[in-house]
Structure 1
Amino acid sequence: MTLHRIQLALLVCVMLQIGSAFFSTQAHAQYKVSTSEIGVGIGGANYKGELAPEYRFLNNQPALTVFYRRDLTNTFTARGGIMLSHRIADDNTIGDDVQDLPLPDYRQAELRLSLAEVSLVMEYNFLDYYDLSQKVRISPYFFAGFAGLIYNKKLTTDNPSLPSLDKPFDTDLTVSVPFGVGIKYALSKHWNLGLEFGTRILFNDNMDFLSEADGKHVANPYDKDWYYYNGISLSYTFYRANCPPPYRRQPGILD
């Protein structure tokens, strides 16, 4: 419950910071140089739900991301990305204390889950990362935004008294709210290294198929599913000079 409150508080803080960007008086056109980046990342995707009620780093499964980032001001950057992952979650291999509780022992369930996420987020940079005059360019950042998620799932059970838990592969679409923290470090003028941890809030409890079955309580109906991504990235920066508007002669008194 404490982690949940911290995550929600962080989300509110980030959204307030992003909202302030719309009232900024500094226009992007004032910069002499604008930047955009393309990059890839590798890391782990983590699911938190009925089969894994608590976040554990060791439950991460491999994930791959590709993204495009563009600076809007010296503080804000916009980023669009795609994240792909596949994982298997099992009541017998959760890896924490909950695996010995009666409900997981009763379910004996296994989940196969593949997901693809398309996201658009805003990043708030604490330092002026895009100032090329700095000898060392580094900045921590917050990010928040929206994402569309398509996921494919299959649920099986070893408990013969719960035949309704055996469900074939099914594909669903939903939306989520990604937010989190990261840090950027410039390896050179063009190459950047990044490290990020992010949480995704879902608005349903259906990522793992577990809700109610045959009138028997097999899940917590009051808790939503979550998923996470944490990883490292490498990106390449493109620079573009912002030329001033062309000079136009103003008409004089004698014109």
Structure 2
Amino acid sequence: MTLRTLPQALLICLLLQIGSAFFSTSVQAQGNQPVTTSEIGIGIGGANYKGEISPNYRFLNNQPALTVFYRRDMSNAITLRGGLLGSHRIFDDKSFSDEAFDERPLHAYRQAELKFSLLELSGVVEYNFLDYYDRSQSPRLSPYLFVGIAGMLYNKKLYMAGNVEREFDTDITVAIPVGVGLKYALSTHWNLGLEFGARKTFTDKLDHLQAPDFPENIANPHDNDWYFYNGISISYTFYRYNCPPIYKKRPGLLD
């Protein structure tokens, strides 16, 4: 072994040691967990949008949103969650606007408003900082982070200077959900949750103000749109005891 290859060999050995420790810890943690859980839940909150019309997150721009989800624990720290999120304006005059930025010449000139509805299907991975599924804890709670992937069906209508600039149009896009939350066990089966999440999209078409349909002094072609969800949820936990399989002695080939 030459001096040139020695650092690469040491790095490979180090990575193998870290990997073996990680996997052995994961297997042991799973083996010590006789119960697996799954949850179904419902949440209510607000959906928001950030783009050309509303360049910063504004709490007052939230419109009602409802979500249903299914969650399953994979280990003491990792849970998987699938969810369906929907948001629609309740009042017809409810819209996203940039009225808070009227002091800016561009927004004052544009006078744009957006009516927006969405339906999102997502799958995320949650990382729990505390052992939330240890029922001996009191109180039983954990903050968590999540990241995943989502598909969104959305419908939008654009007004400029009080007139309809673009009629209702339906489109689909892909987004990356990421955010933080807090889980709190109300009882053995019932759970309360708080969550704030951002969705980075790969499109600039959520608000109809995309280039080249509009000149660059109206729409920014270098910045994709975002949308958000923040809300509260309640869920019900199902427990399953993992009984060991029935042992059956089978003779080997050399027995």
Kindly indicate whether residue 131 of structure 2 is the aligned counterpart of residue 132 of structure 1.
Answer: no
CA contact 1:91–1:107 (8 Å) conserved in 2:
no
CA contact 2:52–2:219 (8 Å) conserved in 1:
yes
Partner in structure 2 of residue 82 of structure 1? 84
Q: 1:61 aligns with which of 58, 63, 71?
A: 63
* Separation of aligned partners in 1, 2:173 and 2:252: 61
Tell me whether 76-85 or 126-135 shows the greater mean CA deviation.
126-135
Per-residue CA distance 1:16-74 (angstroms, 9 max, x = gap) = xxxx9xx6432486221100000000111110011110112222111111000000000
In structure 1, runs of 5+ residues without a counterpart are 1-19
* Separation of aligned partners in 1, 2:254 and 2:119: 66
Kindly indicate whether residue 102 of structure 2 is the aligned counterpart of residue 99 of structure 1.
Answer: yes
Q: 1:116 aligns with which of 119, 129, 144?
A: 119
* Separation of aligned partners in 1, 2:47 and 2:60: 11
Task: State the aligned residue count.
Answer: 226
Partner in structure 2 of residue 223 of structure 1? 223
In structure 2, runs of 5+ residues without a counterpart are 1-18, 90-94
Per-residue CA distance 1:97-149 (angstroms, 9 max, x = gap) = x2321111111222111001000000000011001122221000000000000
Backbone CA RMSD of aligned residues = 2.2
2:158 partner SS: strand
Amino acid in structure 2 at the alignment position of 1:133: S
Q: Percent identity?
A: 61
* Separation of aligned partners in 2, 1:199 and 1:74: 25
Partner in structure 2 of residue 191 of structure 1? 190
Partner in structure 2 of residue 148 of structure 1? 151
Partner in structure 1 of residue 245 of structure 2? 245
Q: TM-score, normalization: structure 2? A: 0.82
Q: 1:48 aligns with which of 39, 47, 50?
A: 50
Q: TM-score, normalization: structure 1? A: 0.82
Deviation at 1:153, TM superposition (A): 0.6
CA contact 2:30–2:75 (8 Å) conserved in 1:
no
Amino acid in structure 2 at the alignment position of 1:236: Y
Partner in structure 2 of residue 172 of structure 1? 171
1:159–1:131 distance in 2 versus 1, CA, 3 Å: closer
Amino acid in structure 2 at the alignment position of 1:186: A
Partner in structure 2 of residue 4 of structure 1? none
* Separation of aligned partners in 2, 1:124 and 1:200: 18
Partner in structure 2 of residue 13 of structure 1? none
Kindly indicate whether residue 177 of structure 2 is the aligned counterpart of residue 181 of structure 1.
Answer: no
* Separation of aligned partners in 2, 1:253 and 1:155: 74
- Please identify the structure whose Cα radius of gyration is greater: 2
Partner in structure 1 of residue 8 of structure 2? none
